[in-house]
């Protein structure tokens, strides 16, 4: 929901400021990923939606589940999120934090979906080319999807390059329909 995205922004910015001050993006990334996974768990969702569950007890449950992963600031963050009924925004908070972290660290995640296996040499070439084009270090994730028929689709941030046969066929079909 876009509502969760908007609600998440100030929380993500606050966590990012804490992480930046401590020069510890990694710990916050781990905490937020864990909290986001908890927020998406069906049993946790039921507890969060139950009005009879005390917010303090729910926050303590999150702290107990996370265990040693949570440091003092993270525990305070959990209490704030649970107390303000923002648990369902946690996946968006985590996502926005990772975007800010990548920007600060000069990195970008890219996804290459290919119809055929991609060799290590090809991956290195694509990574180097993207790094030059975007001026950032690229973390390339490669997956295969035979439904593309041939070619590949590359996604990096807002950039999408669809060089797949399926994409070309869809474009041709759309042009013929008009």
Q: Is residue 4 pLDDT above 80, yes or no?
A: no
Q: Six-digit token pair at 86?
A: 């923002």
pTM of the model: 0.74
Largest Cα separation within the chain, whole Å, is: 60
Q: Quote the pLDDT of residue 47.
A: 93
| Cα 29 to Cα 37: distance, rounded to the nearest angstrom | 12
| Chain centroid offset of residue 146 CA | 25
Query: What are the tens digits of pLDDT across the range 36-91?
Result: 999 999 999 999 999 999 999 999 999 999 999 999 999 999 999 999 999 999 99
**What is the bridge-based pairing of β-strands 159-162 and 137-144?**
unpaired
Closest CA to 5 of 83, 85, 82, 93: 93
Beta 137-144 vs 152-156: how paired, if at all?
unpaired
CA–CA distance, 68 with 63 (Å, rounded to integer): 9
Please state the domain extents for the chain. Answer: 2-102, 107-177
Tokens of residue 80, six digits: 């704030």
Question: Which 3 state secondary structure label does DSSP give 15?
Answer: helix
Pairing of strands 159-162, 152-156: antiparallel
Q: Is the Cβ–Cβ distance between 31 and 70 less than 8 Å? A: yes
pLDDT at residue 158 in the model: 83
Class of domain 2-102: mainly alpha
Q: Is 156 helix (H, G, I), strand (E, B) or coil?
A: strand
């Amino acid at each position: 929901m876009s509502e969760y995205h908007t609600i998440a922004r100030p929380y993500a910015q606050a966590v990012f400021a804490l992480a930046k001050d401590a020069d510890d993006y990694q710990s916050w990334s781990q905490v937020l990923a864990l909290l986001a996974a908890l927020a998406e768990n069906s049993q946790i969702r039921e507890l969060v939606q139950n009005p009879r569950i005390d917010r303090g007890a729910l926050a303590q449950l999150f702290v107990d589940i996370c265990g040693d992963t949570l440091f003092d600031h993270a525990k305070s963050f959990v209490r704030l999120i649970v107390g303000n009924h923002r648990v369902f925004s946690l996946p968006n908070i985590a996502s926005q934090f990772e975007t800010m972290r990548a920007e600060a660290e000069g990195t970008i995640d890219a996804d290459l979906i290919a119809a055929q296996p991609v060799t290590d040499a090809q991956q290195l070439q694509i990574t180097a080319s993207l790094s030059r084009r975007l001026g950032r270090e690229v973390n390339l994730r490669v997956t295969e999807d035979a439904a593309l028929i041939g070619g590949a689709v590359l996604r990096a941030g807002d950039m999408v390059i669809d060089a797949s046969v399926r994409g070309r066929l869809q474009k041709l079909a759309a042009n013929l329909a008009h």
